[in-house]
Amino acid sequence: MNQTKQIPHNLPEDHAQKLAQIEAVIAKYEAKPSNLIMVLHAAQGIYGYLPYVVQKFVADKMIMAVSEVSGVVTFYSFFSTKPKGKHTILVCMGTACYVRGGKKLVEGLQKHLNVDVADTTEDGKFTLSIARCIGACGLAPALMVDDTVFKSVNPKRLESVLSKY
Ligand code: FES
């Protein structure tokens, strides 16, 4: 009987190579819990996000329970268990933006894109996220799409902002 392990269809084609890169990172660290966050940062940098299969791989290589690894991944907001969209929208919810309508922008985007915060659109085009301050407080409310800052945005402008992508 053929014992070849099948890679689930939703994993990237270079899944094995990425795991090999993560394994090389782990080899540089001692397999102890205090190094886990550094390893997970590197793993997310390599893989793009941290699905269960990667969490399990890291746990096995670091001789830890996968529940410990999953606990850290879900605790810190900078770790993501889902793939990011092609473009990341960061809506500022810092004080200046919040009081000048940041919340309305988030609601407008949720409705327009049909996603929740931290989710990716079905076509994989946009991931919606929240930021604390993106340095454009004078022209709040502001948002960023990838590296571009859009200032004084109101819900009516959202469509024209998104149409650039
Ligand atoms: S609070 Fe939004 S840019 Fe600073």
pLDDT tens, position by position, 23-71: 999 999 888 889 999 999 999 999 989 999 999 999 999 999 999 999 9
What is the residue-level pLDDT of the chain in tens, covering all 165 positions? 444 445 555 788 899 999 999 999 999 988 888 999 999 999 999 998 999 999 999 999 999 999 999 999 998 877 888 888 999 999 999 999 999 999 999 999 999 999 999 889 999 999 999 998 999 999 999 999 999 999 999 999 999 999 999
Measured distance CA(99)–CA(133) in Å, rounded: 13
> Ligand 1 centre from 157 Cα, in Å?
18
Q: Where along the chain do its domains lie?
A: 15-75, 87-163
Which 3 state secondary structure label does DSSP give 21?
helix
> Of all atoms in ligand 1, which is nearest to the CA of residue 92?
2
Cβ atoms < 10 Å from Cβ of 159: 10
CATH of 87-163, one of 3.90.550.10, 3.40.30.10, 3.30.70.260, 2.70.70.10: 3.40.30.10
Ligand 1 centre from 161 Cα, in Å? 18
Beta bridge partners of 145: 89, 148
Contact 36, 50 (CB under 8 A): no
